[in-house]
Chain A
Amino acid sequence: MTVTASDQPVRITHGFDFTKLVLYGFALALCLLIVLPMSWLVYYGFVDKSGAFTLQNFITLANDPTLREPFVTTFILAFSTSLICCAVAAPMGWLVARTDMPFRRTVRLMVTASFVTPPFLGAIAWELLAAPNSGLLNKVYRMMTGAESDAVLFNIYSFPGLIFVIACYTFPYVFVLVANALDRTPGELEDASSILGGGTWVTARRITIPLALPALLAGALVAFLQAMTLFGSPAILALPAGFHTMTTKIWSLFQYPPKPELAAAASLPLLILTIMLLRAEHMILGRRSYAVLGGKNSAPRLIVLGRLRWLALAFCFIVLLNPVFLPYGALLNASFSKVASQFVSFSNFTFHNIYFVFFELSATRLALYNTFVLGIATATIGTIVAVVISYLTTREAVTGHKALGFLATAPVAIPGIVLGVGLFLSYTRPPFVLYGTLWILLLAFLTLAMPAAYQQMQSAFKAIHPELEDASRILGATRLRALREITAPLLRTSVIATWCFVFVGTIRELSAAIMLFTSETKVISVLIFDLNESGDLAAISVLGIIMLIVTSCIVALANRLRSGGGNVRLRDN
């Protein structure tokens, strides 16, 4: 073992080592990105109109029932969603990872599809499906049973309806965590159990499931967090159902007359809860390492389900009907139907909706342009920043790298709507007046994308042994040159995959965008949201289908390129 060259950066002969400069530059940028909006948020929460310190905002919050109730609602919502997600995702994850169920890969792929569906779009699709009277499913139900014209099987405009829709697009988080944990559980432990006489089910119950439990618990927390901070689905469904959640309430506080101080005060508990939940998740997952002790593992054993395998597949299929097949079908149907709530037939088939979106709706072009410009810019800048930071932290290149890593992951704890409020408060005033430009959206999207991009690049860097760079440095190259000529080519696929995921995450973002857009800087997600406000469901369906096609293509590309199994957590909004 030689001493790595990185310990003596001063000896270089080919010029100045820019690493430190880069480090400080990025640290400063990240600070500005995160600390500035959050400080304004705290400041606004604690001052009155004249700028003097006050707790009045929190008192108002606690005393006004229209502000207090959303907190309770959100808590129940998040808790129920989390339970449902676990109940569905855990068996599915197990089936996919540890049994011989057919079409396991396809099931995984379909879960990815529900992953990339923007939750607000899913909610709109479910309006088409399960609105109590006009919903397609309720119509089918009445047709098949001959029930009364006001008989209702599903009512999506209800609290359970909202929980259901949120669970549809949240369960993939639990699924991925559980399936990955089970993928990694070593086969020996199960073999040992079998050798000692444990049957298949005993082994599953006493070995496999306990080993996956931490992942499940972490999944439950993540699902809770997602449901709590989600804006899109509640914004679509909660209003017709007659209640507010925390996020929709914060948003409505910006209606005229805007009450930014109350919005800031309402955002802070959300922020603190998120940080606490993430700490809890970290603690739980941190303990998981005991599961993979013991040298080289053999591949996990698959449990033979026998005839039950088709039953298992049917279960997965029924689950996937809800986030993927049914909603996509409803959107497709509405795109070509004269009346969104009627099935396409010869008599009401139309291309008018598509014509309307592309040739009559004057906002489409600008929104598409903005969305793609922002998507490409965020993905490119975000990936570059993630690469540099991951390099500095995994190679422990400079003192302070830990802080840098922390800053890059910190935005995980900032719900989109809270960041939106913070950025709005920070950049509508001098010295940085960015509101009204694409820059403020770029900042928001970059901040939101940073943790996922960083995590993915970091795991990619960890897979490349530093020896290769060291060799280059010993031969006299500077750090940046080693990075450019040795590491970069090895990282190419990961970089492209990261780029794709950031791009996808950006074009579906709604919660921060809704706070920050102006008419000149509207993006597709906001346009869809506006169209929903006036009930233009057909136009939404067309835009939604386009969005899904673009997203799926890019995710498919990224999945092909992705080398490792590092799973990316797309954020929901």
Chain B
Amino acid sequence: MKKQLALWMSGVCLSMGLIAAHAADPAPTLTYSWPTNAGPLDPRGYSPNQMYAQAMVYEPLVRYTDKGTLEPWLATQWTISPDGKTYTFTLRDAVTFSDGSPFNAAAAKASLDAVLANSKRHQWMELVSTLEGVEAPDEHTLVLKLKHPYYPTLMELAQVRPLRFGAPHAKPGAPVGTGPWILAQTRRGEYDRFERNERYWGARPAYGSVLVKVISDPDSRAIALQTGELDLIQGAEGEISPGTFVRLRDSGFNTAISAPLATRSVAMNTGLAPTNELAVRQAINQAVDKDTIIAKVLHGLEPRADALFSNNMPYTDLGLKAAPYDPQQARQTLQAAGWKAQSGKGILEKDGQPLSIELVFLGTSALQKSLAEIIQGELAKVGIEVKLRAEEDGALVQRQREGRFGMIFADTWGAPYDPHSFVSSMRYAGHADYMAQRGLPMKDAIDARIAEVLGQTDEQQRAEGYREILTTLHDQAVYLPISYLTAISVSRNNVANVQFGSTLFDVPFEVMHPATGKP
């Protein structure tokens, strides 16, 4: 009797389990987290509007891919005039905003005109100050007129803001876009709920909604994933620490690391002794063991950086090689440049001056502190003294801008700003990179070449220009590239097809779907 009962019970349990697995929820919810609420989601708004959320609701004309190329999105095709000043886009047919109003050339023009009407606010983006006007000759044609040729136009159109498209009649605080998601509900300090846009022109997302909980503490976020409060952790801004990532990976969660998105690097000041000497900069590049740094501090989560930009960015696949780790060679390089060891001292000297460099890092970043300490230790082995200087972020940027550093942590801006926006900024005084490069004998030539490249309409010539600029900076050893920043992702096994966005700022929820056959 007992046996029969047990058999019967287990049969019931089994069939209930099967029913549960098969009667899939038609609109399942994916839970994610973010440190703050999504914000009012103005398509042209900055903080407190969160970019991941703007990218869910608003779409660009062309989309940036993880290979550094562009693909058609709201525009199906485009032509560029021979003088590089007119861009003509054919808009995708049958696209509507989530409120049902049509996305056409008039609506697109209205959105871009709103950016131009407030251009002072957006002038950090070079395209905005280059854009002369927008025309909508017919329903499906949009024409952008530029003041002068600017090749990264398409790149900047792909960015999350401010050049994406909101419905012309949307009220503030009630965002209406063409994207796969609609912001349905916000509870301040608790969560934002996004629902599937049933009018979406593209592939229908498998999830009915995305619930984004407000969690600011990285450890709390990891716990929330472990206890099932979250399905997914993904991001490139320290969502969880590398150590926590490894722990979750080892305890059986699905994890992934994205392709390189930006570069973690140290800039050296060519305008200040002793880093104004090429030999010193080269020796530093030879003396730091990046592989050990990556293994010990970054838990092996980031690939080693050999050059300022990883080769999956546009125009950067140049085959540049880093000087191999060789402390012996570094010491010889220094010796050949006249840096000699004085008896009884570990620090090399030349003309009575010690080989001493100030390394500025962000004091609130435990990671930068560890990196700085390792670099200090490595350089001490070859006779270079490194003085560590912790600064708050405001003061750090101040030092970058004023060139008050020997070495300073200066990450690149990442896709899709790399390389064009980052290289463009190298020309302006008040930038860490300008300050770092200003001592180079060929600095003026580099700046002229950058200006030329940005306006270059010929693809071949442009690539050649980038080769020259990046190779020069590489040969001059202005930077100590350490590793390529990556995004991480940790998910529970109820989520399938977890993928990364192609920039630091987007999460492609629309391609993820509930795993079948698993609880």
Pair from one complex: no
Binding site for A on B (CB under 8 A): none
Binding site for B on A (CB under 8 A): none
